[in-house]
Structure 1
Amino acid sequence: MNVSLRLNLRSPTAESAEAAKRVEVAVERKKAAETIEQAWERILAMKNSDTDRERLLAVKHAMESGTLGGYPTDGKRFSKAEALRLWAELNERQKADKLAEMVRNTPPHYRLIQTVMQMDELVADLANESIVAVDTETTGLDYYDSDVIVGVSLTLPNANYHVYIPVGHDEGEQLEREYVLARLKPVLEDESVGKVLHNYKFDAHMLIKHGIRMRGLRWDTQIAMHILNENEPSYALKNLATRYLKEPSDTFEQLFGKAQFSTIPLDVALVYAAKDTDLTWRLYRFQREHFKRLPKLLDVYERIENPLIDVVLDMERTGFVLDAEHASKLGEDLRGQLADVERQLAIHFGDINYNSHVQLKPAIEALVREKIDSTDVKTLKALQDRHDAVRLLLKYRELTKLLGTYVEALPQQVRGDGRIHANFNQAATVTGRFSSNNPNFQNQPKYARKMFVAPPGMVILSGDFSQQEPRLLAHFSGEPVLIEAYRAGKDLYTTAAAELFGIPESECGDGSKYRKMLKTGILAVMYGTGPKTLAGQLEINEKEARDFIAQFYAKYPNVKAWIDGNERFAKKHGYVEMLYGRKRRLPEVRSRDRYEQFRALRQATNAIIQGSAAIQTKLTMIALDALCKRKGWQMAFSIHDEIGLYAPKDITLDDVREFESVMLNTVTLAVPNKTDIEISERWGEGKSVKEWFALAE
């Protein structure tokens, strides 16, 4: 009986397996039974990014309209992954259809130049043009080393046609690059023939690589748009054309993805490239009409921004000379310091990764006996007095950044000519201040600056505007104490600190806590810094910071009145004005969100000060460039409030005085300007004018 019983019993394992199989079959049936509507409801209910959701909806619409099939008929479940795969298929199909449509609808006044006879006719027509639009098509964005021009586009307004001249495409009849550029060179280099471009600097750089220095820039539609609206979400030509010319236009990436333009068939290349100068010319005319109602802004563009573009172009071409041997020695020194710091850290932390937040957080908490939310620099600085290990961590962070970001990285950016060429951007910030990238020289520490030297036989002559922004504060506010201090040649921070705290100036000199507090306080006023932030900067509590600001305003009522006036003006007009009428638009001042409105109002004064400083710097650069051309010097850089150039090693005192005069007198304010001039063979090791010439003697 026991045997029979055992034979009739079913094992729990077998029963579980059968149950699992039944569930699996039921699930599969449910999947198979899911309608397309239910599938889309499920997929769209997932957590999708905005991009994915847009793509999914495009696929759904295409399937509903019959453009796409793709719903599984083999019982498999329709997935999000399959939907996105279908989007890629749909996108490629739509791109192909769009390109075919573009070719079918090629405007009759778009011409492809492929023969010598066509080129002769073009050159003859160019002789009758006083201004043209220009664009280049290239293999990429590297105009110093690896990339080349594959075609040139031109718009001829008088002749009323637009051309594309292919010179480097993989297929199709085309003229030789050298021949075409030689025929175009006289026109491109002729100052009397005006040039209109979108992002002129890129095309000018690329043409220089091919032996042409384009002259006669009349208008850069990208830079001009920044004057008309510094809050544009995108300055790409196609996006601006879509928005302002009501001309729906696809970007290069939308049409061609990652393909090089040299691979694009010539019929497609014509309609795309000729449209570039066509749109640039139309955008130029649109902007000119708009500027007619804004004469002050037109003056800012024509007098400051447009002439500055060529100055920046030449400055970028000049580049920075890296002392490779010195950079190597700095690297060895930093690695030695870093090894020493790591040995000391190991005593406190043991064998952990100092760059790992997960490992570092509990280790710090154990030492300082306090819970922390972060291991960032700000948190470490707040804890540095609690334990030596925290100070060592800050040192470790500083050394690793110097080594990785500067000393090791910068030599990798040396170009084929042996120099580093940064991009200096005159229209990348909302206030018009310069920025730089590849590399960013705006945050270059003094330690790293010493890797750079003057070219052979030359020196670095540089001047920075002393207290540039506080002088502008005095200029705009008309505050008597500030104005008198500057006119008397006194140190503003010392004088103002003595006034504010009611103590002798002798106790408020350089290095004193009173001068430091006043300097921080004045900057806080200009930047709209709140009491909480100021308290952290001055290492006082928030009430003391609030009292400090109130005391400052009480002592300098003209400053307070000016700041209040800026906020009233911004509320009324939606913008504030800098020197010469340049605008900083602050649309959020009219926001219903009180926090957004508050933030915008805090920007009002800062925008006037910072933007006006940028204007002073830019006008001075233009004047210094003229001085350089007269003397055979070279503009080298513009970083914060410092402008530098390369001058001959045998520079005279009279030469320096001319440089100083340009720095001081190009833009005059209600207070005198001051510049600190240095001369050096190695950046960061500058000597005063007096020291330099004393050594020379």
Structure 2
Amino acid sequence: MKLQPAPPVDADARKQAVARVKAQKAAQQETMDDAWARVFATKLSDADRAKLQAVKQAMDAGKLGRLPEKAGKRFSKAEAMALHKALIEMDREATLQELVANKPSNYHMVRNQRELDRMVALTLKEPVIGLDTETTGLDVYADVIVGISLTLPTADLHFYVPFGHTERTELDATAVLKTLAPIVISETVGKVLHNAKYDMHMFRRHGYELAGVVWDTQEAMQLLNENEPSMALKNLATKYLHEPSDTFSELFGKDAKFAEIPLDVATVYAAKDTHLTWRLYEFQRKHFAKIPSVQRYFESVEVPLLYAVLDMERNGFVIDLEFAKTYGTEMKARIDEEEVALVAEIGAGVTDFNINSPHQLKPALERITKRKLESTDAKKVLKPLSGEFPVIKRLLDYKADVKLYSTYISKLPELVHPKTGRLHTQFKQNGTVTGRFSSGGNGANLQNIPKSARKLFLAPEGYLIMGGDWSQQEVRALAHFTQEPTLLEAYATGRDIYASMASEVYGKPYEECGDGTFERKAMKVGVLSCMYGTGPATLAQQLGISKAEAELFIDDFFARLPKVKAWIEGNKKYAARHGFVWLDGEQRKRRLPDASGKTTGNWEQRGRTMRALRQATNAIIQGSSAIQTKVTLNALHKLCARKGWKLWATVHDEVLLLVPDTITDAEVDEFERVMLESYPFGDVPNKTDIELGRCWGEMKSRKEWFA
């Protein structure tokens, strides 16, 4: 019989098979004690460590075994966390019974009007209380409150008032909210909450304004440790109060509805929430006492800001659905047409070429450029080549259009809320570690929204969008902190700092280096890059120059601005010595623990240290700019209340309002004064550019509008 040759073995398949065999052998040789030691040696949050300990104890006791599908494989953290979910399911009923059996004697359910009146009378005697709402879901425009919990610290009592549960009491929502109104709307009864904005939303959803919020333990923790891996109440309680606390999904299951939870269980859970919030509040105040300037900032800026952000979120955005449909259809046709053309040009000769596959795109581009490419990364690899190869420029434009269409043009109309008819985003006032805003949630991320997508945003009938930004916000902050004469003089005389520096560097008249010129644009990129420690290689890519030219640019920049260089070096030394830097006026800290590490030895540690040292200046500039934005937003919120205007959005260094379309030029002066005078950086004058329009994507300058 003639033997057939064996089929060729794929090299990758062979490597994978060998790796599997090695992993199986390692798993067989490793004891469970060794495996646990390995898992516990990894970087773990306190909450995860507690979960893993529970799983290990259950396995040691024979209560849990390994997952059948993982038998023969190396034990991992992922498997242990999956086992924790199984353990929770096993223990859930027993846990709930134990929860009720061990209910503290000062946890009370309010079942009827008499008990509710008694609780209200006690509450009105309290200067500050803990407060929380339990709801049917997380949609603050459609879901409703089913119960309210209160902690009365002076009386040492904790109440839960259920009124929307499947298991009924004598109370209903109307009666409860009407009876609680004197507390809810009272400025004299202070309220402490965790994630206060959510509860403020829910009370407004029912027609009541939650007044007197004095503390939000979630936002406060952002100032005490902005590097905290989780700001969830249960995780913070476990870590700082040493009070192991199961999350809602762990106790009741992922799909559970709070309204369906038995009232005896719900009472303990809800009362414990406000009790933990109060204890966390006391813990935070104790630590804030060590940094009184930060506490003053938190109470005077961050807490009032909750009300401004609440209004911005609820105002929402009118989306031009008809334009989105037309624009989207045209854009999709253009994208499809361009894709066909690019596939024909870039993938010539390749069957079934997929232009969106990096694996196929990279060799195709290497054939065109006749160069070995590191990757198909748009910013690092393709953009520097786009000037030399027109097809790469077209490819980048195509990718930008695809992202614009898929992320915004086709998606924004789908995000319009069916109940309000508007798109609502979530503004997170401490969305970054430096205290800057971020936005998103179930709505659009306005911080990254391209100008083309802004055409979809309209002012409501009878209103205009009015926006103001801080001209050169970060460089003005730099001038204040460094007291660099060149910067101070430019701002004192009203000269554009980028045009002034471009005039010197490029040897051109100031008038020829104005807005829109290459020289000014290059100087703006260069100044910001030098401020934040960008290396010559990256700067060269950004400016389209050689690395040697970028090095000369950086050297020249610091030679012209010696105080800037000295200040940046001083920031690095301070961060290395203390592990943090202060933001303007010691109002906030930016903690950089890696900055105090070694700059020699292990390359990974060295990299973290160098990165943290560079972040020191970035944190001071951006964090201080964020403070300016927030203080001004609070002032604008008051102006809006007085004028009948509305806060609309904040995006980077810009604030936008909705104003009547009958607004006068003199009234715009009031807006401008608030922008300029609410928070100057020392003696450095602010400057703002104001625009107005009915569509965010088609705004006009103040002068053009009133002309």
| Partner amino acid, structure 1, of 2:526 | G
| Partner amino acid, structure 2, of 1:543 | A
**Structure 2 Cα separation of the partners of residues 230 and 77 of structure 1:** 37
Q: Return closer, same or farther for 1:370/1:658 CA change in 2, 3 Å cut-off.
A: same
Partner of 1:646: 658
Question: In the TM superposition, what is the alpha-carbon distance from 1:206 to its structure 2 partner?
Answer: 1.5
Q: Return closer, same or farther for 1:254/1:389 CA change in 2, 3 Å cut-off.
A: same
**Structure 2 Cα separation of the partners of residues 461 and 59 of structure 1:** 56
Aligned partner of residue 450 in structure 1, secondary structure: helix
Are 1:202 and 2:198 an aligned pair? yes
**Structure 1 Cα separation of the partners of residues 325 and 66 of structure 2:** 59
Partner of 1:133: 130
**Structure 1 Cα separation of the partners of residues 130 and 366 of structure 2:** 63
Measured against aligned partners, the alpha-carbon deviations of 1:584-612 in whole angstroms (never above 9, x if no partner) come to 11111112333222111101111111011
Aligned partner of residue 677 in structure 1, secondary structure: strand
Measured against aligned partners, the alpha-carbon deviations of 1:42-82 in whole angstroms (never above 9, x if no partner) come to 9959x99989999898666535424358999xxx9966799
Task: Indicate which of 414, 417, 422 corresponds to 2:416.
Answer: 414
Aligned partner of residue 448 in structure 2, secondary structure: coil
Are the counterparts in 2 of residues 39 and 78 from structure 1 also a CA contact under 8 Å? Answer: no
Q: Return closer, same or farther for 1:90/1:562 CA change in 2, 3 Å cut-off.
A: closer
Partner of 1:159: 155
Are 1:668 and 2:680 an aligned pair? yes
Aligned partner of residue 627 in structure 1, secondary structure: helix
Are 1:370 and 2:371 an aligned pair? yes
Q: Return closer, same or farther for 1:159/1:343 CA change in 2, 3 Å cut-off.
A: same
Aligned partner of residue 598 in structure 1, secondary structure: helix
Question: In the TM superposition, what is the alpha-carbon distance from 1:327 to its structure 2 partner?
Answer: 1.3
Partner of 2:338: 341
Q: Return closer, same or farther for 1:89/1:486 CA change in 2, 3 Å cut-off.
A: closer
| Partner amino acid, structure 1, of 2:198 | F
Partner of 1:384: 386
Within 5 Å, which residues of 2 pair with 1:288-303? 288-303=285-300
Q: Return closer, same or farther for 1:42/1:152 CA change in 2, 3 Å cut-off.
A: closer
Measured against aligned partners, the alpha-carbon deviations of 1:519-546 in whole angstroms (never above 9, x if no partner) come to 1121012222122211211222223222
Task: Indicate which of 280, 298, 303 corresponds to 1:283.
Answer: 280
Partner of 2:13: none
Task: Indicate which of 85, 89, 96 corresponds to 2:93.
Answer: 96
Are the counterparts in 2 of residues 474 and 482 from structure 1 also a CA contact under 8 Å? Answer: yes
**Structure 2 Cα separation of the partners of residues 81 and 41 of structure 1:** 10
**Structure 2 Cα separation of the partners of residues 493 and 639 of structure 1:** 22
Are 1:594 and 2:606 an aligned pair? yes
Question: In the TM superposition, what is the alpha-carbon distance from 1:439 to its structure 2 partner?
Answer: 1.2
Aligned partner of residue 419 in structure 1, secondary structure: coil
**Structure 2 Cα separation of the partners of residues 58 and 632 of structure 1:** 56
Are the counterparts in 2 of residues 368 and 386 from structure 1 also a CA contact under 8 Å? Answer: no
Are 1:170 and 2:176 an aligned pair? no
Question: In the TM superposition, what is the alpha-carbon distance from 1:651 to its structure 2 partner?
Answer: 0.4
| Partner amino acid, structure 1, of 2:378 | V
Task: Indicate which of 399, 404, 407 corresponds to 2:406.
Answer: 404
Aligned partner of residue 700 in structure 2, secondary structure: coil
Partner of 2:460: 455
Q: Return closer, same or farther for 1:287/1:90 CA change in 2, 3 Å cut-off.
A: closer
Identity %: 51
| Partner amino acid, structure 2, of 1:613 | S
Are the counterparts in 2 of residues 482 and 496 from structure 1 also a CA contact under 8 Å? Answer: no
Are 1:434 and 2:430 an aligned pair? no
Partner of 1:27: none
**396-405 or 168-177, which deviates more:** 168-177
**Structure 2 Cα separation of the partners of residues 392 and 48 of structure 1:** 48
Aligned partner of residue 655 in structure 2, secondary structure: strand
**Structure 2 Cα separation of the partners of residues 53 and 125 of structure 1:** 41
**Structure 1 Cα separation of the partners of residues 132 and 211 of structure 2:** 14
Are the counterparts in 2 of residues 300 and 580 from structure 1 also a CA contact under 8 Å? Answer: no
Are the counterparts in 2 of residues 43 and 79 from structure 1 also a CA contact under 8 Å? Answer: no
Are the counterparts in 1 of residues 186 and 212 from structure 2 also a CA contact under 8 Å? Answer: yes
Task: Indicate which of 470, 474, 481 corresponds to 1:476.
Answer: 481
**Structure 1 Cα separation of the partners of residues 650 and 171 of structure 2:** 41
Partner of 2:17: none
Partner of 1:393: 395
Measured against aligned partners, the alpha-carbon deviations of 1:357-382 in whole angstroms (never above 9, x if no partner) come to 23333333333333434233233323
**Structure 2 Cα separation of the partners of residues 44 and 148 of structure 1:** 47
Q: Return closer, same or farther for 1:387/1:42 CA change in 2, 3 Å cut-off.
A: farther
Are the counterparts in 2 of residues 353 and 359 from structure 1 also a CA contact under 8 Å? Answer: yes
Partner of 1:30: none
Partner of 1:18: none
Q: Return closer, same or farther for 1:491/1:272 CA change in 2, 3 Å cut-off.
A: same
| Partner amino acid, structure 2, of 1:65 | A
Q: Return closer, same or farther for 1:686/1:63 CA change in 2, 3 Å cut-off.
A: closer
**Structure 2 Cα separation of the partners of residues 266 and 37 of structure 1:** 49
Output the aligned Cα RMSD: 3.0
Are the counterparts in 2 of residues 465 and 642 from structure 1 also a CA contact under 8 Å? Answer: yes
**Structure 2 Cα separation of the partners of residues 181 and 241 of structure 1:** 29
Are the counterparts in 1 of residues 672 and 688 from structure 2 also a CA contact under 8 Å? Answer: yes
**Structure 1 Cα separation of the partners of residues 84 and 306 of structure 2:** 42
Measured against aligned partners, the alpha-carbon deviations of 1:179-224 in whole angstroms (never above 9, x if no partner) come to 2222212210122221110000011111211222211111111111
Are the counterparts in 1 of residues 575 and 596 from structure 2 also a CA contact under 8 Å? Answer: no
Are 1:354 and 2:386 an aligned pair? no
Partner of 1:691: 704
Are 1:576 and 2:577 an aligned pair? no
**502-511 or 215-224, which deviates more:** 502-511
**Structure 2 Cα separation of the partners of residues 586 and 518 of structure 1:** 29
Within 5 Å, which residues of 2 pair with 1:543-582? 543-581=548-586, 582=588
Measured against aligned partners, the alpha-carbon deviations of 1:552-611 in whole angstroms (never above 9, x if no partner) come to 111111111111221222222222112231211111111233322211110111111101
Q: Return closer, same or farther for 1:170/1:542 CA change in 2, 3 Å cut-off.
A: same
Question: In the TM superposition, what is the alpha-carbon distance from 1:172 to its structure 2 partner?
Answer: 5.3
Task: Give the TM-score of the pair, scaled to structure 1.
Answer: 0.88
Q: Return closer, same or farther for 1:493/1:37 CA change in 2, 3 Å cut-off.
A: closer
| Partner amino acid, structure 1, of 2:481 | F
Partner of 2:9: none
Aligned partner of residue 499 in structure 2, secondary structure: helix
Question: In the TM superposition, what is the alpha-carbon distance from 1:478 to its structure 2 partner?
Answer: 0.5
Q: Return closer, same or farther for 1:102/1:344 CA change in 2, 3 Å cut-off.
A: same
Measured against aligned partners, the alpha-carbon deviations of 1:309-356 in whole angstroms (never above 9, x if no partner) come to 110001111011111111112112212321331232243136532222
Are the counterparts in 2 of residues 481 and 496 from structure 1 also a CA contact under 8 Å? Answer: no
**Structure 2 Cα separation of the partners of residues 485 and 380 of structure 1:** 37
**112-121 or 454-463, which deviates more:** 112-121
Question: In the TM superposition, what is the alpha-carbon distance from 1:102 to its structure 2 partner?
Answer: 1.9
Q: Return closer, same or farther for 1:473/1:99 CA change in 2, 3 Å cut-off.
A: same
| Partner amino acid, structure 1, of 2:325 | S
Within 5 Å, which residues of 2 pair with 1:16-55? none
**358-367 or 545-554, which deviates more:** 358-367
Q: Return closer, same or farther for 1:39/1:175 CA change in 2, 3 Å cut-off.
A: farther
Question: In the TM superposition, what is the alpha-carbon distance from 1:139 to its structure 2 partner?
Answer: 2.2
**Structure 1 Cα separation of the partners of residues 32 and 484 of structure 2:** 66
Partner of 1:110: 107
Are the counterparts in 2 of residues 44 and 53 from structure 1 also a CA contact under 8 Å? Answer: no
Are the counterparts in 2 of residues 526 and 609 from structure 1 also a CA contact under 8 Å? Answer: no
Gaps of 5+ in 1: 1-11, 13-35
Are 1:192 and 2:188 an aligned pair? yes
Are the counterparts in 1 of residues 124 and 189 from structure 2 also a CA contact under 8 Å? Answer: no
Gaps of 5+ in 2: 4-26, 599-604
Are the counterparts in 1 of residues 384 and 541 from structure 2 also a CA contact under 8 Å? Answer: no
Aligned partner of residue 629 in structure 1, secondary structure: helix
Partner of 1:527: 532
| Partner amino acid, structure 2, of 1:489 | G
Are 1:485 and 2:490 an aligned pair? yes
Partner of 1:606: 618
